[in-house]
Each structure stands twice: as structure tokens, then as C-alpha cells.
Chains A and B, each alone.
Chain A
Amino acid sequence: MALAGAVVAQLFSNQINPYYLDVILKIGWNIILAVSLNLINGYTGQFSLGHAGFMSVGAYTSAWITMQVGPKVLPQGTGIWFHAGPILLFLAALIIGGLAAALAGALVGAPSLRLKGDYLAIVTLGFGEIIRVIVRNIDSLGGSLGLNGIPAYTNLFWVAAVAVICVYVVLAMVHSSYGRGFLAVRDDEVAAEAMGLNTTRYKIVAFVVGAFFAGVAGGLYGHYTLSIDPKGFDFNKSIEIVVMVIVGGMGNTLGVIGAAIVLTLLPEFLRFLADYRMAIYSFLLIVLMLTRPQGLFTWRRRTKPVVSA
């Protein structure tokens, strides 16, 4: 049903002021990024600082497919295949990009199984950087100069559709009886193991699913900005996503969506403060942790707070 809404949105997208459209698209993939990170950080309690790395894997992979494989596969001429071709190609590219990112997610999740809190954060950060260095060294992907000329396939339909799917999948997963496992791993890993839960599998699943959507978001991002380079997927980007998750409340999907929207809109409204943005973000982070660690959008008082005193 929501997918139908997305189609409708796309039909109207041509009438929206291009500037607004730009912002809405940004909101869209920020939602995807934040919700997918929330699955790893918020619901499963694995503090991952490398999310931008997954995004970059998806962006580069999908771009590679549309740019290298596309011209060889797309039929020419008229007819239904000509029109449907790019759509199918993009879909395939996004999915494969997501799968590549998911693979990266499994690779990152695996060694981190034994690590707690601080170490996990640093290792995920390290992985994000390793991915960035590797990408920078692959010349066929443009190296440090970036990859240009990506076909512009992203539009409101795709972003809205993926956002909807992502939110649905995450919510469905977490609220299922299987999904209780994620929360159990977050709240008390030892107890979860004692109850017979395979914490290893839960953590890997969280990383894989989260990374998949981050990769798809990366693909969407790449096919909109038409030019990507490794520097755009660095630690700062990861932190931006982390801030959305924290402000929204770890483990609170609705709150995280709200935070993604707010944190995407705010820089637009406060353009005059653009120089101070990161400084304000960081100050906000500190103040938030000192005063309201459960995030700005959490109202329900849990019996056991996510960040306990």
C-alpha cells in the first residue's frame, strides 16, 4: 500500500520545486541510513561507527554495474524492453550493491563478535577506514579522484520505495518473536546466551541487514549526486548517521525517522550557521548525553532504559 503511495509521489515529483525535491530525497536516504544503523546500534546494541563504509560499498558497486554492465546489457530501439530496461537495471544494481554491502557487513560483524563497547566502536571505525582506503586504491573506480558520470537513475519513487521497505523490514524483524533476540542481545548478552539464543547469529544478521540497506542507500545517493569519491564516505559521514540514531533514541525507529528528518532539514534552514554546523552537532551530542541520553524523541519510559544510570 505504501509502495503505491511511493508511485503516486513519483508521479507528482516533477511538479515539486527542484530544491524541495532535493531536500526530500536527502531526507529519504538519511531515513534509510539511520533506520538501518538503528538496527545495529539501537536494537542489537552493537555500536558501529563504520556505517558510511557500507554505504560506499553499495554506492560504488551499483555505480559500477550501471556504468560498466549497463551499456552492454541494455537493449536499444523502442519497445517495452527499451523502457523497462533502465528500471530493471537500476533495480538490479541497487540490489547487488546492497548485497555487496551486506557481505561487507558480515565481514565486519564477524570479528566484532568478541568485542564489547569501546573496542567494537574502534574496530568498526577501522573497517570503515579500511574500506575507504581499498576503494581509493582501486583505479577502475576512479581512485581518489572519484567516480564520475554515474547515470541519474534516482528519483522520488526509488527513494520513497526503498525507505518504506527498509522501515517495514526493520520494524517487522524487531517486533517478531525472532526479533526479540536482538533486544535480548543488547540488554544482556550473557543472559541471552544462557537462554539459548545464538547471539553470534543475531549480531551478524543485524550487521548484514543494516549494511544491506546502507548499501542500497549508497546506491541511491550515488545515482543522484552522479559523482562519488571516497572522502564523502568517511568517519564524519558515519558520525552524522550516528547522531541521527542517538538523537532519535537508540532502538526507537519512529524517533530515528524523526531525527533523520529534523537533522536533514535543520542544516537547510540554518544555512547561515553552516560553518558552525559540526561544532553545534558535537556540542549537542555532549549536552544530549549529559542530560537526555535516551534521545529527543523517546517518550515511552522503558522498564530498563537503553542507557541506564
Chain B
Amino acid sequence: MTGFQKFLQQLINGLSLGSIYALIALGYTMVYGILRFINFAHSDVFMAGAFAGYCFARIVPHHSIFGGLAVMLLAMVFCAALGVFIERFAYRPLRGTSNLAILITAIGVSLLLENVTLLIFNATPKTFPTLIPDKSISAGGVSLTTNELVVFGVTAVLLVALQWIVLKTRMGAAMRAVSFNYQAASLVGINNDRVISFTFALGSALAAAGGILWSSLYPSIDPYMGVLPGLKAFVAAVLGGIGNIPGAALGGLLLGMIEAFVNGSRYSTYTDAIAFATLILILLFRPAGLLGKFQIEKV
């Protein structure tokens, strides 16, 4: 492959990876925007989505577009419920107490999800079934698989849907209000609890979609699969400006591409560390992120 072809190939890899990071990052950013709290367990909701898809795939005919979409929708619903459940029982009782207690609880939830999944499914990685027949298209030396196309397509649809929800619906307006000023929102009659539950549901559903898409690209799933992508998605959210929805999407795509290029270079063994190095650099030099608005609390 020529240099340019390699470049294009990595670009495509990066975009597909980045799309998934974007989906997960949106969950982090929305929850942070409203609660100023990093949901450590989000990465495991992503993992739960993948496993849910694994289970649902058994009751749905394989190799059909509609089957694949049905599995994804089912997994999204499942994770939305899971997210709401977690918020209701683990986070809500601690709302208003010190940040540290909630952080520790989030870690606890994360570990609980991982270990319960470990107990149910044991540690051997499972193979995720192919939901959509995987064909490869070659153009000009650069190859693209149908799975990657699906990733692009689904992500685009979900991003548009999210924008619509946030900008054009009443609930979306309520979400934005709560993220601007928590107390004032409740003063004007918004039910903060419901908004928060909705936010968690939305973020978790997106994470589930991400989980299914990820498993289509990398079909081996295990209980700890969410840790690294989750952490990187968090970095992506910070990169784009935490609390900022377009920022999370941008950050995800950007980080995906950076990672793809590093992976294709000589330094590929350092791929994982790149994400963290990015995080540290961003927090040192531009903590508000690329698209971040000025935040009252300095990071």
C-alpha cells in the first residue's frame, strides 16, 4: 500500500473506532453536564450492552439486517433500564453528599457489574455472533467492511436523534436547564429526578449501541471489555469539553483517529498509553476541552 492508501485506511479505522468512542463519551458527558459527576460505571454499561446483545442474538434470526437492529434496540432498552436502576439505587441516595462518596460508589458499581458478569458468564471470552453479513468492499487499495459502514450509519443516526432530542423536545430543554443551573431548574417546575433518570437512560442506551457496534468489529467479548474503551471514551469526552454534547462526539472521533494512527505506526505498543497521555496534556493545558465552555468550577 502506498503511504496515502495507508493513511486513508487508518482514517477509516480511526473513524469507526472514534464513532464508538463518541457514543460512549456522550453518556459520560451528559451525566457530567447535569450532575458534575463522572459515572465510573458507564464503561460497564457498555459491556453489559454487548453481553445483552449476545443473549438477545440467540432469539433473533442471524444474518439479517432487521435481526441485527432488533438486537441492538433490545440491548439499548435493557441498558437504559440498567442505567436508571443504578442511578436510582446507588447514586440518588448519595446526591448532595460529598463527591468522594459517590465516586467510590461508582467504582463499586463498576466492579459489581464486572464481577457479576464474570460469575454469570465466566472469564472465557465469548464470540459475538455476526448480526449482519460481513462483506468487504475494496476501492483504490483501501478496504471497508460492511460492519464499519454499519458503525458509521448507526452512529450518524443516533447522533442526529440525540441532537433532536436535546434541542427540539421539552425533555431536552429540561436537560439543558438542569445542566445550566440545578436549583433554578427545580424552581421553575422541572422534576429534576425524572430528568436525571432520563439522562442516564439515554446515555446508557447509547453505550449499549456502542457495545453492540464494538462487538461487531471486535467479536470477542469478556466482562472486562469495557474498561479500556470506557476510559478512552472518557478522555474523549474531556478532550471535546466535558458537559458539551457536540464536544463529546468530536472528541470521540478525534481520539479514535489519533489512536488509529498510533496503532499503525512504529509505536503501536504504546497505543493504550496515548489516550492517557492525551488526557494529562488536555488537563494541563486546556482543561475546558476543545469545545468547552467556561466552567465556573475550575478543574
Tell me, yes or no, whether B276 is within 8 Å of chain A by CB.
yes
User: Which residues of B from 271 to 297 have beta carbons under 8 Å from A?
Assistant: 272-273, 275-277, 279-280, 283-284, 287, 297
> Which residues does chain B contribute within 8 Å of A276, judged by CB atoms?
115, 119
Tell me, yes or no, whether A224 is within 8 Å of chain B by CB.
no
Q: Mark B81-125, 1 if CB is under 8 A from A, else 0.
A: 000000000100110111111111101111110111011000000
Tell me, yes or no, whether B1 is within 8 Å of chain A by CB.
no
Tell me, yes or no, whether A269 is within 8 Å of chain B by CB.
no
**Cβ–Cβ contact A282 & B112, under 8 A:** yes
Query: Interface residues of B: mostly helix, strand, loop or mixed?
Result: helix
Q: Complex: how many Å from CA A235 to CA B44?
A: 15
**Cβ–Cβ contact B276 & A129, under 8 A:** yes
**Cβ–Cβ contact A125 & B112, under 8 A:** no
Q: Complex: how many Å from CA A125 to CA B105?
A: 16
Contact of B115 (CB < 8 Å), options: A116, A235, A282, A308: A282
**Cβ–Cβ contact A282 & B108, under 8 A:** yes
**Cβ–Cβ contact A111 & B283, under 8 A:** yes
Residue of A nearest to B234 (CB): A122
> Which residues does chain B contribute within 8 Å of A119, judged by CB atoms?
38, 283, 299
User: Which residues of B from 1 to 19 have beta carbons under 8 Å from A?
Assistant: none
Q: Complex: how many Å from CA A165 to CA B209?
A: 52
A235-B227, A276-B119, A286-B109 are known contacts; what are 8 more A-B pairs with Cβ within 8 Å? A111-B284, A119-B283, A129-B231, A133-B273, A279-B119, A282-B107, A290-B105, A307-B97
**Cβ–Cβ contact B111 & A278, under 8 A:** yes
**Cβ–Cβ contact B111 & A281, under 8 A:** yes
> Which residues does chain B contribute within 8 Å of A127, judged by CB atoms?
276, 280
Tell me, yes or no, whether B138 is within 8 Å of chain A by CB.
no
**Cβ–Cβ contact B269 & A239, under 8 A:** no
Residue of B nearest to A143 (CB): B269
Q: Say whether, besides A114-B299, A121-B103, A239 and B284 are in contact (CB < 8 Å).
A: no
Q: Complex: how many Å from CA A239 to CA B114?
A: 13
Query: Chain B: residues with CB nearer than 8 A to chain A?
Result: 37-38, 90, 93-94, 96-105, 107-112, 114-116, 118-119, 227, 231, 234-235, 269-270, 272-273, 275-277, 279-280, 283-284, 287, 297-299
CB pairs A–B below 8 angstroms (13 shown):
A47-B100, A114-B283, A118-B103, A126-B280, A127-B280, A130-B277, A239-B111, A279-B111, A283-B108, A286-B108, A289-B94, A289-B108, A290-B90
Q: Say whether, besides A283-B112, A286-B90, A122 and B38 are in contact (CB < 8 Å).
A: yes
> Which residues does chain B contribute within 8 Å of A289, judged by CB atoms?
94, 101-102, 104-105, 108
**Cβ–Cβ contact B119 & A275, under 8 A:** yes
Residue of B nearest to A277 (CB): B115
Q: Complex: how many Å from CA A133 to CA B280?
A: 16
Q: Say whether, besides A125-B231, A126-B231, A133-B273, A117 and B283 are in contact (CB < 8 Å).
A: no
> Which residues does chain A contribute within 8 Å of B109, judged by CB atoms?
282, 286
Contact of A279 (CB < 8 Å), options: B105, B116, B283, B284: B116
Residue of B nearest to A133 (CB): B273
Contact of A286 (CB < 8 Å), options: B105, B276, B284: B105
> Which residues does chain A contribute within 8 Å of B277, judged by CB atoms?
130
Closest 8 CB pairs of A and B: A282-B111, A285-B108, A126-B276, A279-B115, A286-B108, A282-B112, A133-B273, A118-B38
Residue of B nearest to A246 (CB): B104
**Cβ–Cβ contact A118 & B99, under 8 A:** yes
